[in-house]
């Protein structure tokens, strides 16, 4: 018997309401400027996001998927090349590789952290491998030191899919700084979310940044000169102005997520398998995922108690229709499959109240 949703998985409206005056002022500033693309708001947001990420360059683009794709394309990766990707991730990680005609090579994630297993990655390297593309899944950093060594030892590009990791740190350094370039998403539900789609590339590599800058704008660095086949994938002034406002609150909002995660970690241990924080990691807790052998029954129980949950992700990329009929559909990924069958995400967010956290804990504990 459902009593209706009392604790929604994630609500975006309270965040918009909290910042409403600042957002209104930012939107009004853009409206009154008469300039809506590739202007001062973009420049200011790129500078601010680069600084937050500890990177020398930031290029904002239309989505996280485009950010990933442009990094790979900017380094000349394409047909015939292989890119190592985790077996368990949001499918965009794989789609970016497929979009440029390269081959995603799935590698198992490690059971504890759900991120690319560096030993499995080492075993998957062939003479065609061009890049390693780990994901900081759920906001937990991948094993970046080991992956950096692996990439360097084999002359490979290391790209961080940091689309869920705004503010995550590893050994005190912002995630993304271990890789040659990092891709970010500003999808509304991410820790730093726009009021629509958006993405960015951060890097210390000036050439790579310049190339991504061209790719997002019709292959052009100077107006009406097109030196390569590019795309239209620009982050507009309105979204940049909104993101500048929200970036000012990211650290505080992440701190609230950390507080919620600490309560779950302290109180749920006897009831579910808890996420494991890597040594040296400060996750941004984009998602709080737990595992249970009777996951579907647990979800039903929580729903009956008014607690909304989601599964990230119920179908791993290799089992998606997008890869049906390809060799990828036959990939042997028992760990990724097991995670998909047992994982569930509990409500977490910067505006989840203490009372809601109590309700979630009571509901899980009474299963």
Residue 180 vs residues 60, 131, 132, 318: alpha-carbon distances, Å: 17, 10, 10, 26
Cα atoms found within 13 Å of the Cα of residue 245, Cβ hemisphere only: 24
Q: Segment contacting ligand PLP (CB under 6 A): 24-32, 88-96, 211-219, 271-279?
A: 88-96
Residue 165 binds to ligand PLP (criterion: CB under 6 A): no
Number of residues in contact with ligand PLP under rule CB under 6 A: 15
Q: What residue is closest to ligand PLP based on CB?
A: 64
**Cα distance between residue 95 and residue 231, in whole Å:** 17
Residue 317 CB, shortest distance to ligand PLP, in Å, is: 11
Residue 63 binds to ligand PLP (criterion: CB under 6 A): yes
Residue 202 binds to ligand PLP (criterion: CB under 6 A): no
Residue 357 binds to ligand PLP (criterion: CB under 6 A): no
Q: Which is nearer to ligand PLP, 15 or 134 (CB)?
A: 134
Structure tokens at 246: 């929200």
Residue from the set 46, 81, 180, 197 that interacts with ligand PLP by CB under 6 A = 197
Instruction: Give the x/- contact pattern for ligand PLP in 143-162, rule: CB under 6 A.
Output: ------------------x-
Residue from the set 103, 129, 164, 203 that interacts with ligand PLP by CB under 6 A = 164
Q: Segment contacting ligand PLP (CB under 6 A): 5-13, 14-22, 62-70, 147-155?
A: 62-70
Q: Which is nearer to ligand PLP, 89 or 342 (CB)?
A: 89
Residue 185 binds to ligand PLP (criterion: CB under 6 A): yes
Residue 92 binds to ligand PLP (criterion: CB under 6 A): yes
Residue 334 vs residues 83, 112, 339, 355: alpha-carbon distances, Å: 20, 14, 9, 38
Q: Which is nearer to ligand PLP, 135 or 364 (CB)?
A: 135
Q: Check: CB of residue 142 under 8 Å from CB of residue 168.
A: no
Residue 164 CB, shortest distance to ligand PLP, in Å, is: 5
Nearest to 71 by CA among 193, 147, 181, 156: 181
Residue 103 binds to ligand PLP (criterion: CB under 6 A): no
Residue from the set 89, 115, 289, 342 that interacts with ligand PLP by CB under 6 A = 89
Residue 53 CB, shortest distance to ligand PLP, in Å, is: 16
DSSP 76: T
- Which residue intervals of the chain are DSSP H helices? 13-18, 20-33, 40-53, 64-74, 92-99, 118-124, 144-154, 206-215, 237-267, 295-304, 334-342, 354-365
| Contacting residues for 29 by C-beta, under 8 A, at least 6 apart | 41, 241
Rounded to the nearest 10 degrees, the angle between the axes of helix 64-74 and helix 206-215 is 120
Taking the alpha carbons of 185, 186, 191, 192 in that order, is the dihedral positive or negative?
A: positive
Residue 187 binds to ligand PLP (criterion: CB under 6 A): yes
Residue 269 CB, shortest distance to ligand PLP, in Å, is: 27
| Contacting residues for 239 by C-beta, under 8 A, at least 6 apart | 186, 194, 195, 196, 198
Residue from the set 88, 93, 98, 115 that interacts with ligand PLP by CB under 6 A = 93
Residue from the set 61, 65, 281, 361 that interacts with ligand PLP by CB under 6 A = 65
- Binding positions for ligand PLP, rule: CB under 6 A: 63-65, 89-90, 92-93, 135, 161, 163-164, 185, 187, 197, 199
């Amino acid at each position: 018997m459902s009593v209706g949703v009392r604790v929604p998985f994630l609500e975006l409206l309270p965040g918009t309401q909290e910042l409403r005056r600042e957002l209104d002022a930012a939107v009004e500033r853009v409206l009154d400027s008469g300039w809506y693309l590739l202007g001062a708001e973009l420049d200011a947001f790129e500078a601010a996001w680069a600084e937050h990420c500890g990177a020398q360059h930031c290029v904002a683009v239309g989505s996280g998927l485009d950010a990933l794709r442009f990094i790979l394309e900017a380094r000349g990766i394409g047909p015939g090349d292989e890119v190592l990707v985790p077996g368990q991730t949001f499918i965009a990680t794989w789609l970016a590789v497929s979009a440029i005609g390269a081959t995603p090579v799935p590698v198992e994630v490690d059971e504890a952290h759900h991120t690319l297993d560096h030993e499995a990655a080492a075993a998957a390297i062939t003479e065609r491998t061009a890049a390693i593309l780990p994901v900081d899944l759920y906001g937990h950093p991948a094993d970046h030191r080991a992956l950096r060594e692996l990439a360097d030892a084999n002359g490979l590009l290391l790209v961080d899919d940091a689309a869920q990791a705004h503010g995550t740190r590893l050994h005190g350094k912002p995630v993304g700084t271990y890789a040659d370039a990092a891709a970010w998403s500003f999808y509304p539900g991410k820790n730093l979310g726009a009021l629509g789609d958006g993405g960015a590339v951060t890097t210390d590599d000036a050439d790579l940044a310049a190339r991504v800058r061209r790719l997002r704008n019709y292959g052009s660095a100077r107006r009406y000169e097109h030196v390569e086949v590019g795309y239209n994938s620009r982050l507009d002034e309105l979204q940049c102005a909104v993101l500048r406002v929200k970036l000012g609150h990211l650290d505080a909002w992440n701190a609230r997520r950390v507080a919620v995660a600490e309560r779950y970690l302290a109180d749920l241990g006897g009831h579910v398998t808890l996420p494991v924080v890597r040594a040296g990691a400060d996750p941004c807790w984009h998602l709080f995922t737990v595992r249970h052998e009777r996951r579907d029954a647990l979800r039903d129980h929580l729903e009956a108690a008014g607690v909304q949950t989601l599964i990230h992700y119920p179908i791993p990329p290799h089992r998606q229709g997008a890869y049906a009929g390809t060799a990828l559909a036959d990939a042997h990924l028992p760990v990724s499959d097991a995670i998909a069958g047992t994982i569930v995400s509990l409500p977490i967010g910067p505006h989840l109240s203490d009372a809601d956290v109590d309700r979630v804990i009571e509901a899980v504990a009474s299963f």
